[in-house]
């Protein structure tokens, strides 16, 4: 339905139709670190690759011990250059039982930074992030 804006009529669908979202999907976006397996790795990009959405499902083969909600920073994945942020991005990480924080560094390393409890061997770690480059 057209909307009036400062005396002009604007049709929202016309605006949407002229935006070139250029959405792309990639399911091979990096490399799992030692002691981790990338079960699912997905990147969706838009706006010529400037808007990046990531989803990672990473399985850990080793237990990660938490002491009072903190773990030693450990790299679990490295993103290919096309999906690296221009500044570090913090995001939520979880197993379904344990929650924590991950950081995506400008060099593409994805690290576990904190966890509410220890993460058992064989746990599936899930994280999503969306950012502009």
- Whole-number pLDDT of residue 11: 66
pLDDT tens sequence across 18-43: 555 678 899 999 999 999 999 999 99
Confidence (pLDDT) at 105? 98
pLDDT tens, residue by residue, 103-132: 999 999 999 999 999 999 999 999 999 999
Instruction: Enumerate residues 6+ apart whose C-beta is below 8 A from 127.
Output: 54, 55, 56, 58, 91, 92, 93, 94, 102, 110
| Mean pLDDT across the chain | 88
Domain ranges within the chain, ordered by starting residue? 21-132
Write down the CATH superfamily of domain 21-132.
Phage tail base-plate Siphoviridae RBP, head domain (2.60.40.1830)
Of the pLDDT bands very low, low, confident and very high (cuts 50, 70, 90), residue 6 is low
Its sign, for the CA torsion 12, 14, 15, 16, is positive
The pLDDT of 72-85, averaged and rounded, is 95
Of the chain, the percentage scoring pLDDT greater than 70 comes to 83
């Amino acid at each position: 339905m057209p909307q009036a804006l400062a005396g002009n009529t604007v049709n929202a669908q016309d605006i949407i139709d002229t935006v070139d979202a250029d959405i792309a999907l990639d399911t091979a976006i990096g490399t799992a670190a030692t002691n981790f397996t990338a079960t699912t790795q997905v990147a969706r990009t838009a706006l010529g690759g400037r808007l990046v959405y990531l989803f990672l499902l990473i399985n850990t083969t080793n237990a990660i011990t938490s002491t009072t909600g903190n773990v030693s920073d450990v790299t679990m994945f490295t993103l290919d250059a096309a999906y690296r942020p221009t500044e570090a991005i913090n995001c939520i990480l979880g197993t379904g039982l344990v929650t924590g924080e991950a950081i995506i560094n400008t060099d593409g390393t994805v690290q576990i930074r904190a966890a509410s409890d220890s993460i058992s061997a064989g746990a599936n770690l899930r994280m999503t992030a969306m950012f502009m480059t």
